[in-house]
């Protein structure tokens, strides 16, 4: 088999199975990424969701015997909804980030990579392939950057000239000696918009992210959200797109190439109040298919409460009082107490005073006190 010609065949085949960009790189270690990860660890910038063993994240030979190359794939997703939500006056909605619109991309990319593996192994049966998407050990962005898919922007996204940064990434380590493609040159230049606009200062110069400060990460935590970040959340229920939407490279980039990625507006931008009382089954039915539900309903509900406070939605006061007094989960009760304080008013004040008499939980009581202090000051 002529490997140069076979690479071309793989590229041609990838276009027929919904892969929008493909690149190839060697299976050597990702030294630059290793240094970045070591710095990240030293500064405690990691999210905690990633593979803890840095060596595994940068050394393909620890993941597969005798790897010779890595194939990187990118699939473009939409940045604008074709169908807009229609809200009645005063109805408040939250938002899921664009990467969580449509069907969970992990499934979509795994299925594409599986087809690619089958194509390769049908022609070269002895070929060994190992695919991964997001939750695999390798750093998708490092692979994509070296394989020429795009450059690594200061917003820590891979930016492709064709689709901007609105791409999902996946990769496959192979035992085949495909010729590597050239990495793409950094085109951020003197632009610094993403760093300047980040609401929490999570982007450190030089394309480093402090995940502990990043709203995208914070929306996925399950405990109480640290006070200093609550007002930064806005109406975000899951993820944050700010450093992507502001990027000039994303201007006008809105691709609708895959129908399974089209968002249902009622899921991507749901009404906030119904989320407070949504049952497990309904949550699973409605939000289970999107990637933003992977942490379950609690973080989404906590964020919905924070979003109601952000809007100072007085029509939500009765619901929030019910949540503060009846929800079994301290994080939800306490966040509701904080939100009532932010919204204010006589009804909130009376309910908070009463809750202070009845609440027993050591984490909720300070939240009630905070809520009271907002109104009484
Ligand atoms: Fe900042 Fe949001 Fe980008 Fe995170 S996702 S770095 S919080 S702008
Ligand atoms: Fe690069 Fe500017 Fe885009 Fe940030 S906003 S990723 S600096 S081009």
Contacts of 111 (CB under 8 A, 6+ apart): none
CA 163 to chain centre: 18
Residue 39 has a pLDDT of 86
Question: What is the atom index within ligand 1 of the atom nearest the CA of 203?
Answer: 6
DSSP 250-267: GTT------GGG---HHH
Residue 191 lies in a domain: no
| Nearest bound ligand to the CA of residue 229 | 1
Neighbours of 179 (CB within 10 A): 11
pLDDT digits (tens, 9 = 90+) for 134-145: 877 899 999 999
Indicate the pTM of the whole model: 0.94
Residue ending a domain, choose from 111, 142, 174 = 174
Asked whether residue 71 falls in the same domain as residue 120, the answer is yes
| Model confidence at 205: pLDDT above 80 | no
Whole-number average pLDDT of the chain: 95
pLDDT digits (tens, 9 = 90+) for 145-178: 999 999 999 999 999 999 999 999 999 999 999 9
pLDDT digits (tens, 9 = 90+) for 5-41: 999 999 999 999 999 999 999 999 999 888 888 888 8
Query: With contact defined as beta carbons under 8 Å apart, do 60 and 180 qualify?
Result: no
Residue 190 lies in a domain: no
Question: Residues lining ligand 2, CB < 6 A?
Answer: 153-155, 188, 191-194, 246-249
Which of 104, 134, 264, 361 is catalytic? The answer is: 134
Asked whether residue 137 falls in the same domain as residue 36, the answer is yes
Strands 236-238 and 95-96: parallel
Asked whether residue 10 falls in the same domain as residue 145, the answer is yes
State which residues form the domain around 222: 214-376
Residue 180 lies in a domain: no
Asked whether residue 225 falls in the same domain as residue 161, the answer is no
Question: Is 134 tagged catalytic?
Answer: yes
Probe ligand 1: pick from 100, 159, 199, 229, max atoms within 8 Å of CB? 199
Q: In total, how many domains does the chain have?
A: 2
Residue 121 has a pLDDT of 97
Paired strand residues for 117: none
pLDDT digits (tens, 9 = 90+) for 50-74: 888 889 899 999 999 999 999 999 9
Residue 6 has a pLDDT of 97
Residue ending a domain, choose from 123, 158, 174 = 174
């Amino acid at each position: 088999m002529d490997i140069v010609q076979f690479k071309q065949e793989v590229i041609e085949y990838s276009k027929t199975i919904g892969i929008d960009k493909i690149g190839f790189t060697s299976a050597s270690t990702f030294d630059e990424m290793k240094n970045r990860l070591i710095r990240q660890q030293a500064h405690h910038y990691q999210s905690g969701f990633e593979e803890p063993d840095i060596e595994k994240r940068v050394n393909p030979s620890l993941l597969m015997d005798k790897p010779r190359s890595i194939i990187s794939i990118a699939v473009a997703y939409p940045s604008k909804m074709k169908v807009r939500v229609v809200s009645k006056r005063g109805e408040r909605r939250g938002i899921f980030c664009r990467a969580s619109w449509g069907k969970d991309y992990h499934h979509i990319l795994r299925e594409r990579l599986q087809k690619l593996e089958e194509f390769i192994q049908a022609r070269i049966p002895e070929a060994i392939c190992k695919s991964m998407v997001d939750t695999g050990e390798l750093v998708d962005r490092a692979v994509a950057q070296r394989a020429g898919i795009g450059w690594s922007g200061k917003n820590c996204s891979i930016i492709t000239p064709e689709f901007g940064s609105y791409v999902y990434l996946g990769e496959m380590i192979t035992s085949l000696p495909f010729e590597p493609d050239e990495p793409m040159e950094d085109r951020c230049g003197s632009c610094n918009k993403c760093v300047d606009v980040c609401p929490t200062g999570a982007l450190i110069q030089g394309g480093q992210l402090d995940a502990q400060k990043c709203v995208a990460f914070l929306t996925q935590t399950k405990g109480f959200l640290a006070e200093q970040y609550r007002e930064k959340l806005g109406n975000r229920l899951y993820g944050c797109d700010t450093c992507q939407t502001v990027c000039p490279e994303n201007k006008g980039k809105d691709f609708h190439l895959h129908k399974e990625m089209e968002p249902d507006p009622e899921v991507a931008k749901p009404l906030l109040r119904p989320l407070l009382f949504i049952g497990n089954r309904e949550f699973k039915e409605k939000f289970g298919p999107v990637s933003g539900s992977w942490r379950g309903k609690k973080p989404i509900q906590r964020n919905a409460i924070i979003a109601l406070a952000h809007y100072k939605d007085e029509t939500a006061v009765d619901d929030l009082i019910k949540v503060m007094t009846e929800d079994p989960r301290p994080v939800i009760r306490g966040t509701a107490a904080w939100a009532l304080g932010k919204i204010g008013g006589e009804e909130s004040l009376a309910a908070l005073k009463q809750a202070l008499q009845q609440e027993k939980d050591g984490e909720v009581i300070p939240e009630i006190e905070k809520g009271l202090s907002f109104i009484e000051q």
